[in-house]
Amino acid sequence: SLSYSRKIILHQNGLKIIRAELFYTDDQPLNEKKAEFLEKDLFEKEYEDSKSKIELGNISYDNDAQTVTLLTQIDLQPNQRITLRLRYRAEYSKKLDGLYKAVYTNSKKEKIMIASTQFEPTSARKVFPCFDEPSFK
């Protein structure tokens, strides 16, 4: 059975959370939400009702488990819709996993640098704070 929690646990590997905000979300279905993050910085949007903001406490990292835990000041109820906005920092990987730089030679013999990704099985957490268990996919 589901119960309340004051923890939001996301996978991460080497990320640094710079800013985190948590809000109650309206009842609009997720598939009707517009992808605002493609158009502008999510932190530019202000929530008109200050009662919608949920106060966060500590942010803690567990490097062995590759997780980051955000603690809330209140209980979050099962099936309660919330919005979590994060600003974080990630680095290019020096290996061929996560987000890394690659170089190829085009038909004109020019070397071209590109950004490439490899997220299987658990390397997405090097780029995004996420729910990244292979069993979730």
DSSP 10-65: EE-SS-EEEEEEEEE--S--GGGS--GGGTS-GGGPPPS-GGGEE-EEEEEEETTT
Per-residue pLDDT tens for 61-82? 999 999 999 999 989 888 888 8
pLDDT at 93: 93
Per-residue pLDDT tens for 18-63? 988 888 876 554 444 444 444 445 455 555 555 688 889 899 999 9
Percentage of residues in the chain with pLDDT exceeding 70?
78
The pTM score is: 0.70
Q: State the Cα torsion 106-111-113-118 to the nearest 10°.
A: 60
